[in-house]
Amino acid sequence: MCLLAILYQSVPDAPLLLAANREEFFDRPFDPPCVLPGPPRILAGIDLRAGGTWLGVNQFGLIVAITNRQMANPPADARSRGQLCRDLLLCSNAEVAASLATAELTSGRYAGANYVVADANSGYLLEHADEFAKTSLSAGLHLVTNGQPNDPWDPRQSLARELFAATPIRSADDFINTARQVCAHGPEDATGRTIVVQMAQRGTVSSTLMALTTDPAQSVYEFAAGAPDVTPYGNYSSIVRTLLANK
């Protein structure tokens, strides 16, 4: 049920812009983003049950993010998908990360998932369901939920695309301001669609906004440790700026 929005290579001074709502069981514990010692150093939240992460960025400006995905016959003793996400953050760039992800996801060790690996120069969507697919990120907005990425029939993706299109995005600040509104959109609107998800036992448990800019001193990282319609974003920008300035 997670949602990732990546605006890629569309803003000249901010080639990598990302917004993500994470959905999970409410009783699954996690730590908010922290710097993991390197090399390389990584800024990521930590899933305290399996030890992996759902989203992170390393000192080389590589972002890795994951959404779970159903598959017909997942392995009985699957390795943690979040652990693989953490492994990919050890890579020096998106090309290396995509090669490692391809090798791992075609090994038969993992349940279904969508992975995004991207830096300022290249990016990939890796779909691991009943079949495996690797697609280069083109310039523009990409949306990933728990099925096919950039699916025109996915109502949540359609809503997110409409909300992002409502305001011109010409800068990192434009994206962050719009993404705050998109990620906090809920409960269900007149169309029956929502971005924030709330069910009995699971729903939106956190939200991340990120802008990686050509000048590291202008990069932005915000994190809400709860559903962003009721939980304010904390500012982690000074942490990510220090991380990126010390390659």
- pTM comes to 0.96
DSSP structure class, residue 218: G
pLDDT by residue (tens digit) across 76-111?
999 999 999 999 999 999 999 999 999 999 999 999
Among the listed residues 34, 19, 12, 95, the one whose alpha carbon sits nearest the alpha carbon of residue 243: 34
Average pLDDT over residues 25-29: 95
Q: Which helix (H) or strand (E) holds 203?
A: strand 202-212
AA identity, residue 81? R
Number of structural domains found in the chain:
1
Q: Which residue has the tokens 């908010």?
A: 32
Task: Tell me the CATH number at 107.
Answer: 3.60.60.10
Q: Is the pLDDT of residue 172 over 80?
A: yes
What is the structure's pLDDT at 191?
72
* Angle made by CA atoms 160, 161, 163, in degrees to the nearest 5: 65
Average pLDDT over residues 60-84: 95
Q: Are 80 and 103 in contact (CB under 8 A)?
A: no
Helix axes 94-105, 81-88, angle to 10 degrees: 150
Q: Is the pLDDT of residue 227 over 90?
A: yes
Q: Which residue has the tokens 């992460």?
A: 53
Domain that holds residue 106: 3-245
Classified as helix, coil or strand, 140 is: strand
Q: Are 220 and 18 in contact (CB under 8 A)?
A: no
Q: Is the pLDDT of residue 1 over 70?
A: no
Q: Bridge partners of 20?
A: 4, 208
Q: Is the pLDDT of residue 188 over 90?
A: no
Residues 6+ apart with CB under 8 A from 102: 126, 132, 134
What is the structure's pLDDT at 233?
98
